Amino acid sequence: MKRSQNINMHIFGSESRDIKDLIALVSMMDLVIAPDSSVIHIAAGLSIPSIGIYGPFPSHLRIKYYDKCVGFDSPASCAPCFTHGHKPCKFATEVQSSPCFNEINIDDVVDKSKYLLNKYRNDVFKSFDYKIPKKSETSKFRDEILRIIEEEIKESLHGKNGLEIGSAGDPLIDTSVCIDLEAPYTKCGDKPIHFKGDARKLFWFKDDSLDYIYSSHVFEDFDEDENKGVLSEWTRVIKKNGFLFLLLPDQKRYELYYVKNNEKPNEHHKIGDFGPDYIMKLVREYNNLEILRIVKFWVKDPDEYNFFVMIKKKG
């Protein structure tokens, strides 16, 4: 039941993709009505009033200590039978579910719902603020990027000393050291940020100390007159024969994308002609760097704007 001046019923089972979605949905309800399931336990954990419908199991075994939960037990003579899991009820005929639920009076459930709403409406737990994380660009291409890297350099990044810049909590490699701003633009995962600061200066790291750096959607945020200095700094800390991996947007294609999808453009993008040609021209200014590969993801998806760059620091 969604918060409102009026009572609105909302069936959200089909909208829950995983347990995090389910928790988020339950947290926004004034009242939850559910059969014997995890939903009742989540509601109790969030102090959300709830009504549990019980048939095969007696309610007191499930909700004895939930002070904002009311249980309805089936009056059927065969209940409780303790049938568990996906085993069908032996009395089920047309459907493989427990017909004892049909014995519960819906008017009683409605009356008890009104009672709980009136009693707890002003006492609903509201400090829980779960937000479904924004999906990172890395997560969209993770498998393909890792395949491309291993195909090109013939080895995995796992076990290497690596840094990820602007990971937003969702690094390409779980064992990477991660750096992001003190107040990151976005959060896309729950992995730790080990260092916080400005990526223009990687003062935490010595020269030639890292096997690789991976960065997603950061380099385009620097001003054009800063990019050469940033590239010099990032490659300074990479070992000879180490690698810089960049996942980046082609600005012209990105502009078409956000117009087509009626989205607000990223105000941090600084360079109008940013794209593969821009990166190739920049890297050519360094005698100790070479581009191993550029993968334009829009070759497979015309609406895509991302491209991936592999740069090697020569030995």
- Is the pLDDT at 127 greater than 50, yes or no? no
- Quick: pLDDT tens for 253-312: 999 988 888 877 778 888 889 999 999 999 999 999 999 999 999 999 999 999 999 999
Residue 129 in this model has a pLDDT that exceeds 60? no
Residue 259: its pLDDT value, please?
Answer: 87
Q: Which domains are present in the chain? A: 13-123 (3.40.50.2000), 137-313 (3.40.50.150)
The Cα 202–Cα 170 span in angstroms is: 20
For residue 76, what pLDDT is reported? 74
Q: How far apart are CA 164 and CA 177, in angstroms?
A: 6
pLDDT, tens digit, 9 for 90 and up, residues 203-254: 999 999 999 999 999 999 999 899 999 999 999 999 999 999 999 999 999 9
**Mean pLDDT (whole number) for 65-76:** 83
Q: What distance in Å separates the CA atoms of residue 313 and residue 214, rounded to the nearest whole number?
A: 14
Has residue 95 got a pLDDT over 80? no
> Tell me: the pLDDT tens digits for 133-159?
567 888 889 999 999 999 999 888 888
Are residues 179 and 199 in contact, defined by beta-carbon separation less than 8 angstroms? yes
Rounded Cα distance, 291 and 309, in Å: 7
pLDDT of residue 298: 95
| 55 close to 98: Cβ distance less than 8 angstroms | yes
Helix (H) or strand (E) holding 45: helix 38-45
Q: Give yes or no for a contact between 177 and 194, defined as CB atoms under 8 angstroms apart.
A: yes
CA 87, chain centre distance (Å): 34
